[in-house]
A and B are shown apart, each in its own frame.
Chain A
Amino acid sequence: MSFLLPKLTSKKEVDQAIKSTAEKVLVLRFGRDEDPVCLQLDDILSKTSSDLSKMAAIYLVDVDQTPVYTQYFDISYIPSTIFFFNGQHMKVDYGSPDHTKFVGSFKTKQDFLDLIEVIYRGAMRGKLIVQSPIDPKNIPKYDLLYQDI
């Protein structure tokens, strides 16, 4: 499944992707290809990528290969999905402690589709933070650790 989606292996490539995606939501999945939850997420991403081709561009990033971004985006749990639009980071309120990224996998394909649509619409209206349409029951729970602890 992960071989169906394009991969980014260096900071330069990630920069390139962020800068070049125009008028579409950029979805960056940070994780490792072998991790089971990542595999689930990758499955959903690849199955929906063709439907979302006009609204979103999806890429997979390995956390070990881009340590700068792992630190900058503060990725402590994998998989973490981060959304950009026109080079600007989009925050989403899922009801979880961290609004900057989506931690874990989606329960259904429809959840992911809804989320992408909401982000796209919000971006078109000029909103930098949007409300997630996903049912809070389906959001994976995690504890947010402060970095120095």
Chain B
Amino acid sequence: MAPAQRCPLCRQTFFCGRGHVYSRKHQRQLKEALERLLPQVEAARKAIRAAQVERYVPEHERCCWCVCCGCEVREHLSHGNLTVLYGGLLEHLASPEHKKATNKFWWENKAEVQMKEKFLVTPQDYVRFKKSMVKGLDSYEEKEDEVIKEMAAQIREVEQSRQEVVRSVLEPQAVPDPEEGSSAPRSWKGMNSQVASSSQQPSNLDLPAAPELDWMEIGPSLTFIGHQDIPGVGNIHSGATPPWMIQDEYIGGNQEIGPSYEEFLKEKEKQKLKKLPPDRVGANFDHSSRTSAGWLPSFGRVWNNGRRWQSRHQFKTEAAAMKQSHTEKS
């Protein structure tokens, strides 16, 4: 028996010496591991030609496990708030240590030789990638600039319309015509959402007067129930005690909250009852029901024909019959 060796790919100890590497299980593990790594490498390869630059997102912190070197590699390169997709992985794949490790890995685990080339990146490829990365960075900057310009244009538009509204409302404010009075605040309300964020200095001056008129005239009529204003007693706005907190006049005995001792014991009994099997005999028997003087319990009689619950009925008829014969005799 060979000495115990640990295979990191299968994550197992084996005693077969050099034979383990040729076993089916090991080859399967090897295939799976390479299959896991391959898609990442392919995606990285595509990125060589067209490097993508994106805004930084925490997801770009993800690391990839390189089987050959047995180490974790940062997938994407990030600097500041920009990320180059697959930058880290490519850098690792092009490095000489990775090349050495990959060779070693292939030789030791007896993997297919053709596959090896796919997992390596030549230095020329890496140089190409760097060039495309620079291009990508430039285009990203351009895009960002465009977006900023668009946003600035939008803000300018909004500012313009706001100024116009202010001017139009200030002019007819002296003669509040209902129609004009209503149309201006209506459009003012429409602008309100955009205007709300910016400061309100000149707009607050005279506007409250016009909308108030609007609210008092339009709308369904409500029933008026009177001013709820009693001078002596406070209300919610003045911070008085709420009615439900005021102690009642009649306190009566003790003011304990919660069940009394007997109720507590009854609750305990009920808990015990719940634990009993639900299909026991007489589970739904009402123990506290009031019965008449002529009540008879459920009894399966000796000399009766029919079901058990009919025996009571039979007894009553027999008793009546016997009584009748008795009174006949006497």
Contact = CB atoms under 8 A, between A and B. Distances in A.
Given A19-B287, A23-B276, A74 B281 contact: no
A86 B285 contact: yes
Contact of A124 (B280, B288, B299): B280
Contact of A125 (B280, B293, B296): B280
A89 B281 CA distance: 9
Nearest to A124: B280
Contacts of B299: 72-73, 82, 89, 100
B318 to A, nearest CB: 9
A73 B299 CA distance: 7
Contact of B279 (A71, A86, A90, A126): A126
Contacts, number: 83
B283 interface: yes
Give the interface residue-count category, chain A. 35 or more
Contacts of B282: 85-88, 123
A84 B319 CA distance: 23
B302 interface: yes
Contacts of A146: 303
A115 B297 CA distance: 22
Interface in A1-39: 11-12, 15, 18-20, 22-23
Interface in B281-305: 281-283, 285, 287-289, 291, 293, 295-303
A66 to B, nearest CB: 12
A9 to B, nearest CB: 15
Given A86-B282, A125-B277, A126-B279, A91 B297 contact: no
A15 B280 contact: no
Interface string B265-277: 0000000010011
Contact of A72 (B276, B287, B291, B315): B315
B319 A71 contact: yes
Contacts of A84: 297
A89 B280 contact: no
A139 interface: no
A128 interface: yes
B298 A88 contact: yes
Interface string A89-132: 11100000011100000000000000000000011111110000
Interface string A43-73: 0000000000000000000000000100111
B319 to A, nearest CB: 7
Interface in B126-170: none
B300 A123 contact: no
A19 B286 CA distance: 8
B281 A86 contact: yes
A19 B298 contact: no
A86 B300 CA distance: 15
Given A12-B293, A86-B282, 19 more contacts: A15-B291, A18-B297, A19-B287, A19-B288, A20-B287, A23-B273, A68-B296, A71-B315, A73-B301, A74-B302, A82-B299, A89-B297, A89-B299, A91-B300, A100-B299, A100-B300, A126-B279, A128-B300, A144-B302
Interface of A: 11-12, 15, 18-20, 22-23, 68, 71-74, 82, 84-91, 98-100, 122-128, 144, 146-147
19 contacts: A18-B297, A20-B287, A23-B273, A71-B315, A72-B299, A84-B297, A85-B281, A86-B287, A87-B282, A87-B297, A87-B298, A88-B298, A89-B300, A100-B302, A123-B280, A123-B282, A124-B276, A125-B280, A126-B277
